[in-house]
Amino acid sequence: MSPNTYPHEDTFGKLPVKVSRKDFNRYIDPYLSKCFKGPKRKISRYKIFNYILFVLHTGIQWNKLPVYRNEIHWSNVYRWHNKWSKDNSYQNLFETSVIFLSGARKLDISSIHGDGSNTVAKKGARILDIRDTNTRKG
């Protein structure tokens, strides 16, 4: 295949680490819910979204997030991520992008991988054993 008919493979298959402001405003921002209550944000949603992408890409803990000039606390970035996750903003963004790519015939589903590595561990799995291991009398 010549490079003119199909883009190079190195441009596909990679997760975005950072999104440009132009792409964010065009493709992402319309699908993320907005907050109308409380004080006005001191940092743009574009920067918050890129901080979230950085955490998801690197896998670092939220409290280890390197923030430029203390412009926002890590817990506020996590709150936005949690809000967008719970109100289905990410789901709407994903579904809309799949519909758009499918309509433009740019969606390649020949290879789909599911990742089930994030499993939830039950808290208190040994609750039934507590009565037998308790040495206190009472």
The rounded average pLDDT for each run of 10 residues, N- to C-terminus, in the chain (138 residues) is 44 70 93 84 92 92 92 94 94 90 82 66 56 57
State the angle between helix axes of 74-86 and 89-103 in degrees (0 to 180), rounded to the nearest 10: 60
In a domain, 123, yes or no: no
In a domain, 122, yes or no: no
In a domain, 132, yes or no: no
In a domain, 118, yes or no: no
What's the pTM? Answer: 0.68
In a domain, 133, yes or no: no
Domains in the chain: how many in total? 1
Look at residue 26 in the predicted model and tell me its pLDDT.
92
Look at residue 41 in the predicted model and tell me its pLDDT.
80
In a domain, 115, yes or no: no
How far is Cα 22 from Cα 24, in angstroms, rounded to an integer?
5
In a domain, 70, yes or no: yes
Look at residue 93 in the predicted model and tell me its pLDDT.
93
Look at residue 116 in the predicted model and tell me its pLDDT.
63
